Amino acid sequence: MQELKNYFITIDRGYKEGEVAVFRQKFDGKGVKKAMLYATALGVYEAEINEKKVGKQMFAPGYSYYPRRVLFQEHEVTELLQEGENTLTFYLGQGWYCGRFLYENKTQIYGEKPAAAWVLVIEYADGIKEKITSLDEVEELVSPYEYAGEYDGEIYFADSRNEVIGHPVKWNGDPVFELEPTLTEVQIQEEINIKEVIEYDGKTIIDFGQNFAGIVIIDPAFLDDETVTLRHGEILNPDGSLYTNNLRKAKATTVYHAGAEKQIYRPRFTYMGFRYVEFSGAKYQPGVIKAYALYTQMVRTGYFNCENMMVQKLYENQVWGQKSNYVEIPTDCPQRDERMGYTGDGHVFALTGAYNFDTLDFWKNYLRDLELGQLDNTEGYVCATVPQTGPNGIEFLSMLGWGNAVTILPNMMYQQFGDEEALERQYESMKLFVEAEIRKMGKKNLWIGPSLGDWLAMGHDMVWQATHNNPISNAFIVNDLRILNETAKRLGKKEDASRYEKQYLATRAAYIKEYVDEDGVVAEDYQSAYIMALKYVMPEGELREKVINNFVVNIKEKGLLTGFFATEHLLPLLVDVGEKELAYDILLHDGCPGWMYQVKCGATTTWERWDALRPDGTVNEDTNFDNDDNMVSFNHYAFGSVGEFYYQYILGIRPLEPGFQKVKIAPVTDKRLGSVAGSYSSRAGEIKVAWKYTDEKVTYQITTPVETVVILEDGREMMLQTGTYEL
């Protein structure tokens, strides 16, 4: 529907942050056989026909790299039309296009003002077709919004009338972008029940019992002509008041002026990350508000249950971390002034998320923006956040570990979903970035320079991490070269395969020479470096065995000290090197740092920092090293990458062939979990695994849709065909 580019309209005045425009178009609907609405916006929109919302998508058309592509929707709206006069109402917000966004709180990032375009195609019973566009007799109405923005919330007047204040004008921008149909959409999901209502200092605090990303709907039937204010927060202060320091510059506030019309209020242009809502301005009554989770629509594919309630709670926490942060893009946290699509945070959780939900379209959409943004960057650079905000080049911080999503994500999509086109589709993008890495390495075969390292690892501050990042950063380069070499071979690109294999071996050798001593000590006994070297670098042999021994000693002596990147691989590596009990000890450790510490503290999602809430009960309000703002979130999915261990090790479900066309099941058991059961609905069908102890005997129940290799902990290996088995 490229013709939509011809019909963009905008407001006939200057920019005002948080403004929402309301357009109205009337048309006749007599004798309609079929009606289709095609719509898009530079900004975010919501369309209504006869006061009924078109479609289920929130924040349409969705966030994309606007300089090169803008998304659009098509909806059959026949059922919304009525005989006689019909009204199309188009609410246009600023959104990511020109509203306030990024942790720098910038505005007009991609353009000066929002714009909208639509085409309504009506087919009548007599066979005649009519096309109505946004350039045809559109009025602008008084907006019910005093303000609407992603970070601050909305200020809404329910009694705003349909008063015409003027007419939009044709957008005079240059539509150099392409229009593409949306692959995914954010929708309102499950209702979150209220757990507790607390009266505090003349206000009411509602505890929903779950930290989540979502919206609160207000029912004015419970109100007089009153103004209600809702403030959102993740935790409470020790005195019982709402904690908001970690919102930074985000107000996360709804102000609703009820008026006399008594229409249900639902936010259109914002969402919040919260567990608690402070209600003021009117007497709280049950039913006056309801909360709903909001996230990208995905099919649930993975489930896990066990008798150990803390282990079970951690599983549920990482699922909620995904729901909360898969809102259009893989955000970093939903509560503060950030919510940006970080590549590094995204790829460390991607495999876990791909077991929880079918995320193939989610990542296709994301990688499309990664690829297009990369084309505008110098040196084939992949930005730390996608969609990027404009052309970029490699600067002081290389952001290695982040940009490497360019290889890690397509490889995951191929293995997990059997997406035969994933690697081919992204090959040139992968190659472009790897070539930049090769240039930066030069004759050293290593890229030495500052980066963020294993972000938020315990035991060292951020400056230390940034200046000791190279054992982490260069491990990612080795992995990039391996993936690209294997992909080139698979695609029959012989010259590329030869080039990248040679560079892979050279960089691997340079890494070992630089960071691994002859006794197997890696980077002066740096825990994260052990993990990344064993995962991506060290070949089989005597030196690897020495590294393994030192790694195990390090873990036994120091416990868990990993950051975003190494955490994903910590427990799997311990099992792989024969330290199953130690892996479970780390998982079940309830002191800080540790996953069970978070659960013990009442967490309902995973935290951004291991010590977000310190053992003394205070919040860790340390700042990011490049600004003075508090940087702590109680809803961040990176450390939720432990979900990978649940599926691939506790249940033991892994693909032997891409898309699970052939399966390996090798459960790793521990009595402390009690009985365990789980499933994964793969592209080949549903796989189920359950196990339980009876004295020293383990009984397994396995259901598989395809040929499966089963490996039991006593060393037995067997081949099973489609069916259900008890072992």
Yes or no: say if 195 and 277 are a contact pair by the CB < 8 Å rule.
Answer: no
Amino acid identity of residue 567, one-letter, is: T
Amino acid identity of residue 46, one-letter, is: E
Q: Whole-angstrom Cα distance, residue 204 to residue 510? A: 61
Yes or no: say if 298 and 326 are a contact pair by the CB < 8 Å rule.
Answer: yes
Q: Is 575 left (phi over 0), alpha (psi -120 to 50) or beta?
A: alpha
- Specify the long-range contacts of residues 620-625, CB closer than 8 Å, at least 24 apart: 621/245, 621/246, 624/462, 625/461, 625/462, 625/463, 625/466
Q: Whole-angstrom Cα distance, residue 109 to residue 593? A: 38
Q: Which two tokens stand for residue 81?
A: 């039309």
Yes or no: say if 621 and 246 are a contact pair by the CB < 8 Å rule.
Answer: yes
Yes or no: say if 244 and 268 are a contact pair by the CB < 8 Å rule.
Answer: no
Q: What is the number of H-type helices and E-type strands within the chain?
A: 16, 33
* Alpha helices by DSSP H, 230-359: 309-325, 343-356
DSSP state of 641: G
* Active centre residues (catalytic): 338, 608
Q: Whole-angstrom Cα distance, residue 296 to residue 410? A: 20
Q: Which two tokens stand for residue 115?
A: 């714009």
Q: Whole-angstrom Cα distance, residue 433 to residue 455? A: 21
Q: Is 324 exposed, middle or buried (0-12, 13-18, 19+ CB in 10 A)?
A: buried
Q: Whole-angstrom Cα distance, residue 428 to residue 364? A: 15
Query: Sheet containing 302-306: which strands, arranged edge to edge?
Result: 302-306, 676-682, 685-694, 697-704, 723-726
Q: Whole-angstrom Cα distance, residue 409 to residue 386? A: 13
Q: Is 636 exposed, middle or buried (0-12, 13-18, 19+ CB in 10 A)?
A: buried
Q: 482: helix, coil or strand?
A: helix
Yes or no: say if 32 and 124 are a contact pair by the CB < 8 Å rule.
Answer: yes
For helices 470-490 and 494-515, what crossing angle results, to 10°? 160
Determine phi and psi for 136, rounding to 5 degrees.
-105, 105
Determine phi and psi for 529, rounding to 5 degrees.
-65, -40
Yes or no: say if 340 and 102 are a contact pair by the CB < 8 Å rule.
Answer: yes
Yes or no: say if 506 and 448 are a contact pair by the CB < 8 Å rule.
Answer: no
Q: Whole-angstrom Cα distance, residue 221 to residue 224? A: 8
The residues with which 101 forms a beta bridge, in sequence order, are: 106
Yes or no: say if 400 and 451 are a contact pair by the CB < 8 Å rule.
Answer: yes
CA distances from 703 to 353, 452, 644, 678 (A): 22, 43, 20, 11
For residue 695, give every residue at least 6 positions away whose Cβ sits within 8 Å of its Cβ, in sequence order, or none. none
Chain center to CA of 166? 40
Chain center to CA of 307? 29
Q: Please state whether beta strands 253-257 and 153-157 pair in parallel, antiparallel, or not at all (unpaired).
A: parallel
